[in-house]
Amino acid sequence: MEEKNVSGRFQIRVSEILEIQKRKREINGRELNEIDFLDDNGMPLKIDEKIIEEFRFSGLNNTDFITTEFYKNGFDGNP
């Protein structure tokens, strides 16, 4: 969470960065096909198994699977 300050500069607590990194390690430390990704309403995303299989060869990690939006279209929708 961004801290409020007078200078207008962005501020973040070190503990928050460490917690984010810990969570990313937890996500990336699992097999992709063992993760249920949920939408903002808590409903599981329907991800084609073919897309998950394609991603294994991308060289990226599980959080990249989401941030690159690979989960939506696989290689068909990504350069």
Tens of pLDDT, residue by residue over 49-63, are: 999 999 998 999 999
For residues 28 and 71, what is the distance between their CA atoms, to the nearest angstrom?
15
Tens of pLDDT, residue by residue over 5-42, are: 778 899 999 999 999 999 999 999 999 999 999 999 99
| pTM for this prediction | 0.79
DSSP state of 38: B
How many helices (H) and strands (E) in the chain? 4, 0
DSSP bridge pairs for 44: 38
All structural domains of the chain with their residue ranges: 14-77
Residue corresponding to tokens 């409020």: 4
Average the pLDDT over 60-79 and give the result.
89
